[in-house]
Structure formats: C-alpha cells, structure tokens
C-alpha cells in the first residue's frame, strides 16, 4: 500500500477546503427535505426522479441523458483546457481516499510506515469499514431517502432485512467502497479508471497540466549547494530532494514527464514549492502547458478543440434549458383498446380507448379531456361526434390514472365505412392553460 508523505502547501490548503465542502454537500444533501420528500431523490423503484420543484417520469429520461451529455462534454472541455482537474479536485475516488489517509494519520503517527503495528492496522481497517458503511448509507439515500431509511431502521429493527431490499444494496456497496478506498486506493486511478486512459486523446500540447520545468531544473544537483553560491550556475535548480516523489499518492516521478498515473493532486507542486523556498525560487513543478515547459512557447487557450467542445457544450445546455422551459408536467398516453374492436351499430361507429394520465407535479391538478377529429374532410364522414367517459379528472400529486373513453359518431354515408380518421386527444390543465396533445385514429369499420 502506497501511503504518500503528508504535505500541506498552498494548493493543499485550497484543495482541503474544496474537499471538505464536497464531503459536507454529499453527506448533508440526502437529509434535506422538499415538502414531505427528499430534496433530491432518484427513485429507481418507481422510475421517478425528484428535484426541487420538479418530478421527472420515465418518459422524460432524455433530460437525464442531456445532463449526462453535459457532464461528459464538460469533462472533455475542462480536460483539454486544464488537464485532469476532475481527478484532483472533485473525483470521489480522490476525495474519499484522501479522507481515509487523513483518518489513518489521525489514528496513528506510524500510519503507512513499516513500524505500523498489526493491532493499529486492525483498528484502522475497522474504522475504515464503518466509514464505508456511513458513506454508502448516504449513497443509497440518494435512491431511497435518508430519513426513510432511518425510519425503517428504527421501526423495523432487524426485521428490516426481511422487509426491505435496500439493506442488501447497502452492505454490498459498503463492501465495494471499503475494498476500493482501503485496499485498492489510488491503484484504481492508475489501473482501472477509464478516464485515465481517455485523457491522452483529450489533451494536447497546450492543455495546462502539472509538469516539471526541466529547463530550469536540469541538470539535477548531485550534491548540496549553498543558496547564492557561485556553484549554483553549474547546476539546474532541482536539488534532487525527491520530495515530489515522496508525496505522490500514485508513486510516480513527475520529472519523468506527463504520465497516465498523474491525478493532478498538486502534492508535488507544494512539495517542490517548499523545497525551492529554501533557495528563494519558484517551484519547478506547477500548472503549465507542455508547449511552455518543453519549447517555452506561449500557451494557447483558445484553439480548435476547445472551441468545438465549448460549442457542443453550449448547444446541449441551450437544448436542455429550452426543453425544461417548454416542459408540460402532464404525462399522457392514448391507446386504442385492443380487446374491444371498433364497431358500427345502427349506423353509429364506436371506438374504445385506454387513456393513461399522470400528474408529474407535486400539486393536485384538475385535468380536462377533449377529442377532435383532425380535418374538416374527416368530420364530414361522421355527425354528432360524442365523447363518452370521464372528461374531468382530479389528480393527486404524482398520481397515475387509467381511464376508458369511448368515441361515437353517426355515419353520414355508407361510403364512410372502412375509413381511418385521425383524431387528437387534448389534455388540458385549465389552471395553467397548458395542453398536451396525443394523436390517434378513429376507425370506421364495415358496419353491422
């Protein structure tokens, strides 16, 4: 197990606060409620996603796809611009592994050293496992609800294992979390994470990465040289102190150039800054483009790939915002009842429909149903067009209802038989004035 030496420099402090904020956000969010349900709930069992003020039904999965697309494109955009910012600053793998490291250091000053006793390791792994359970509880809470899970535990006790499925998910995922954060640790980033492999195609010579300035650093010093002495001119600035290697959680030497294993954690930047401070010089390892580090060329931030990613990003965001702004939170589907064939009785054609209606809001709503035959020429085929069934409905929040509607029309002529007439069901919320329309057909079979 690689346990890097602790370093807390300029970037380390900054990252500490970012990490703390993200951990608090992750742990606190599932406990907040919006009305009588969690603020954010990805209810996979009922296939509904709850966000403040909005509920998304399975039919609206394209919103989820668009959000994932935005996240994916932002990853491309920020990587091409600023390298693996995600890995070092926001990835849960890095954040929680560093949290586990901090716990190890807190529990034992010998953490990671050969002298770390077996009993210390046992205690540490027990604490890590309990922490993995707490982290997993909050992870599962995004799908079940933190308060609902707590109520289950209090009300059901051990019977929760028989009555609910979520405890099994919790235990299985906690096992994975523990294995990942306590055993795999940064090996996940180096050997498993697909993003590490992708990054090479997202980066170019102008991407800002953490890199070593070999122009200044080489040739590395092979002996101690006093700051300000004449000898300094014969050597580069790198004192070969190896601090940048000792603090690296993935165990690489950044002086060997940009590597897949570098997760942008900035530890080596702080370590070199600390060493260079002794010589009153700037750090040799810092955020820079390879164009600057290798060729001393100005970094170009605006370049074709950045413009392409930014354009796609803007297009997808605008699409999402537009779709959200025109979204009507009424779910409706109209199906002709396949068990009851359209018939003509006494010159009256009748068709039966199954109408599914959903209230995708968190307020009760009243809905009105109206049906129109589409064209004038169609209307000429039938007279006295009638809608039989419930046309006004009261729907509770998030309620799904199925009703049957019968359409009838008197045939105007025998020639109307065997015709298929387009019909439109309009479902309106009179309170908002918004209407959802569903196309179907009114069939006029050969009458009996």
Query: Treating both helix axes as pointing N-terminal to C-terminal, what angle do 61-82 and 304-326 enclose, rounded to 10 degrees?
Result: 160
Give the Cα separation of 409 and 442 in Å (integer): 10
How distant, in Å, are the alpha carbons of 12, 188, 196, 263, 424 from that of 87?
A: 14, 12, 9, 5, 51
Residue 351 C-beta-side C-alpha neighbours within 13 Å: 24
Among residues 71 and 282, whose Cβ is nearest to ligand SF4? 282
Q: Quick check: 266 binds ligand SF4 (CB under 6 A)?
A: yes
Total of chain residues touching ligand SF4, rule CB under 6 A:
29
* Per CB under 6 A, 316 contacts ligand SF4: no
Q: x/- contact string, 219-238, with ligand SF4 (CB under 6 A)?
A: -------------------x
* Ramachandran quadrant class, 317 (left: phi over 0; alpha: psi -120 to 50; beta: rest): alpha
Nearer to ligand SF4, 11 or 353 (CB): 11
Q: Single out the residue of 73, 263, 357, 427 in contact with ligand SF4 (rule: CB under 6 A).
A: 263
Query: CA separation (Å) from 21 to 28, 29, 432?
Result: 10, 12, 39
The residues facing 19 across adjacent strands are none
Residue 210 interacting with ligand SF4 (CB under 6 A):
yes
Asked if 381 contacts 412 with a C-beta cutoff of 8 angstroms, the reply is yes
243 binds ligand SF4 (CB under 6 A): yes
* Residue 170 CB partners (closer than 8 Å, separation 6+): 133, 136, 137, 140
- In angstroms, rounded to a whole number, what is the distance separating the alpha carbons of residues 38 and 32? 6
By CB under 6 A, name the one of 241, 348, 387, 406 that touches ligand SF4.
241
Please state, in angstroms and rounded to a whole number, the distance separating the CA atoms of residues 169 and 94: 23
Using CA atoms, how far residue 437 sits from 60, 292, 322, 324, 434, in Å, is 16, 59, 19, 18, 10
Binding of residue 272 to ligand SF4 (CB under 6 A): yes
Q: Which stretch binds ligand SF4 (CB under 6 A): 118-126, 129-137, 227-235, 251-259?
A: 251-259
Listed ranges 52-60, 267-275, 329-337, 433-441: which one lies at the site for ligand SF4 (CB under 6 A): 267-275
Q: What gap in Å lies between CA 68 and CA 74, rounded to an integer?
A: 10
Stretch of residues binding ligand SF4 (CB under 6 A), selected from 176-184, 249-257, 347-355, 403-411 = 249-257
271 binds ligand SF4 (CB under 6 A): yes
By CB under 6 A, residue 95 contacts ligand SF4: no
140, 144, 184, 248: which one binds ligand SF4 (CB under 6 A): 248
185 binds ligand SF4 (CB under 6 A): no
Residue 307 to residue 300: CA distance in whole angstroms = 12
Which member of 254, 293, 334, 444 binds ligand SF4 (CB under 6 A)?
254
* Chosen residue from 15, 19, 185, 255 binding ligand SF4 by CB under 6 A: 255
The single residue among 136, 199, 264, 398 that binds ligand SF4, judged by CB under 6 A, is: 264
The residue range among 140-148, 243-251, 313-321, 386-394 that interacts with ligand SF4, by the rule CB under 6 A, is 243-251
Judged by beta carbon, residue 12 or residue 145, the one nearer ligand SF4 is 12
Q: Helix (H, G, I), strand (E, B), or coil: what is residue 6?
A: coil
244 sits near ligand SF4 (criterion: CB under 6 A): yes
Candidate residues 81, 149, 174, 268; the one interacting with ligand SF4 per rule CB under 6 A: 268
Closest CA to 281 of 228, 229, 244: 228
Cis peptide before 243 (omega within 30 of 0): no
Question: Which of 141, 285, 290, 357 lies at the binding interface for ligand SF4 (CB under 6 A)?
Answer: 285
Nearer to ligand SF4, 274 or 410 (CB): 274
Comparing CB distances to ligand SF4, the nearer of 60 and 275 is: 275
In terms of CB distance, is 249 or 329 closer to ligand SF4?
249
Instruction: To the nearest 10°, report the CA torsion of 94, 97, 98, 101.
Output: -160
Q: How far is the CB of 196 from ligand SF4 (least distance, A)?
A: 11
Among 9, 104, 145, 217, binds ligand SF4 (CB under 6 A): 217
Closer Cβ to ligand SF4, 262 or 369, answer by number:
262
Rounded Cα distance between 29 and 22, Å, is 10
Q: At a CB cut-off of 8 Å and minimum separation 6, what does 359 contact?
A: 329, 330, 331, 365, 367, 395, 396, 397, 398, 399, 400
Interface residues toward ligand SF4, by CB under 6 A: 210, 212, 217, 238-244, 247-250, 252, 254-255, 262-268, 271-272, 275, 284-285
């Amino acid at each position: 197990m690689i346990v890097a030496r602790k370093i807390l420099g300029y970037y380390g402090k900054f990252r500490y606060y970012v990490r703390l904020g993200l951990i608090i956000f992750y742990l606190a969010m599932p406990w907040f409620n919006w009305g009588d349900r969690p603020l954010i709930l990805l209810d996979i069992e009922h296939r509904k996603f709850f966000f403040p003020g909005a509920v998304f039904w399975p039919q609206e999965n394209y919103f989820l796809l668009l959000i994932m697309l935005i996240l994916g494109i932002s990853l491309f955009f920020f990587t091409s611009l600023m390298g693996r910012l995600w890995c070092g600053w926001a990835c849960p793998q890095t954040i929680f592994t560093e949290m586990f490291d901090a716990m190890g250091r807190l529990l034992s000053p010998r953490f990671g050293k050969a002298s770390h006793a077996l009993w210390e390791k046992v205690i540490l792994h027990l604490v890590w496992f309990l922490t993995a359970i707490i982290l997993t509880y909050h992870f599962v809470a995004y799908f079940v609800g933190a308060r609902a899970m707590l109520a289950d535990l209090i009300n059901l006790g051990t019977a929760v294992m028989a009555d609910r499925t979520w405890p099994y998910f919790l235990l299985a995922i906690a096992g994975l979390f523990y294995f990942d954060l306590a055993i795999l640790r940064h090996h996940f980033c180096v050997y498993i994470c697909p993003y590490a492999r992708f990054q090479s195609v997202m980066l170019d010579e102008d991407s800002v990465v953490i890199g070593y300035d070999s122009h200044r650093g080489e040739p590395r010093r092979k002996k101690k040289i006093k700051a300000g002495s004449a000898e300094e001119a014969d050597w580069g600035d790198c004192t070969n102190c190896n601090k940048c290697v000792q603090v690296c959680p993935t165990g690489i030497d950044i002086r060997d150039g940009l590597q897949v294993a570098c997760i942008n954690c900035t530890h080596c930047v702080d370590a070199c800054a600390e060493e260079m401070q002794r010589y009153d010089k700037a750090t040799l390892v810092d955020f820079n483009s390879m164009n600057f580090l290798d060729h001393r060329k100005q970094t170009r931030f605006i370049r074709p790939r950045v413009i392409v990613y930014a354009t796609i990003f803007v297009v997808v965001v605008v699409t999402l915002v537009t779709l959200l702004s025109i979204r009507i939170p009424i779910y409706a589907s109209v199906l002709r009842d396949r068990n009851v064939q359209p018939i003509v009785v006494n010159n009256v054609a009748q068709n039966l429909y199954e109408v599914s209606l959903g209230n995708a809001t968190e307020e009760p709503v009243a809905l009105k149903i109206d049906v129109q035959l589409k064209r004038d020429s169609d209307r000429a085929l039938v007279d006295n067009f009638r809608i039989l069934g419930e046309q006004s409905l009261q729907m509770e929040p998030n309620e799904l209802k199925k009703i049957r509607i019968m359409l009838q029309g008197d045939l105007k002529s025998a020639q109307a038989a065997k015709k298929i007439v387009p019909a439109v069901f309009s479902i309106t919320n009179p309170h908002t004035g918004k209407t959802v329309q569903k196309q179907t057909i009114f069939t006029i079979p050969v009458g009996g």
